[in-house]
Amino acid sequence: MIQLHNASPLPDTMFTLSQVGDIAVLAITCPALLDDQAQALAPSLRDVALQSQGRVLIDMGGVGRFSCAWINTLLELTRTCKRLGGQMFVVNVQPKARHLLRTSELDRHLNLAPSRAAAFQALGHPTVAPWRLAVARWLDIPVGQAA
């Protein structure tokens, strides 16, 4: 008996990358991070960590489910960031997944933050409240970075 594997093709874009100061911000756009996706993403994530000297924020707000392979990818990336003298934060993890990470005590090895702002603050990056930024733009007041 032959069993067919119904593999879904990997999407062309699995994340978007932006830079906030010296922090690389990756927003995962893939709704499910299973073994194939984790394997495909790992080299790119490693390269981003090297380029940002280990200061990485991964936003999983769009991820509905993930596999053990993805968790292993996150753990390895966390170790890479630490070796580079930085830190990696994971934000916007769905409640069920966050509960799973906590009950399995994997959250002891991953830096989970409730929001991007909390992660930026933990990474030592100054943040401006969105409403203050909007008012400053509306009044045409320059907003500089804190030293």
Domain boundaries in the chain?
15-138
Q: What share of the chain is helix, strand, coil (3-state, %, to 5)?
A: 40, 20, 40
Residues 12-68: tens digit of each pLDDT = 578 999 998 899 999 999 899 999 999 999 999 999 999 999 999 999 998 999 999
Average pLDDT over the chain, rounded to whole?
Answer: 85
Residue 104's CB is within 10 A of a number of other CB atoms, namely 10
Instruction: Provide CATH code, domain 15-138.
Output: 3.30.750.24
Amino acid identity of residue 81, one-letter, is C
Q: What is the pLDDT of residue 9?
A: 42
**C-alpha gyration radius of the chain:** 17
CB 112 within 8 A of CB 80: no
More confident residue, 116 or 125: 116
- Indicate yes or no: pTM above 0.95: no
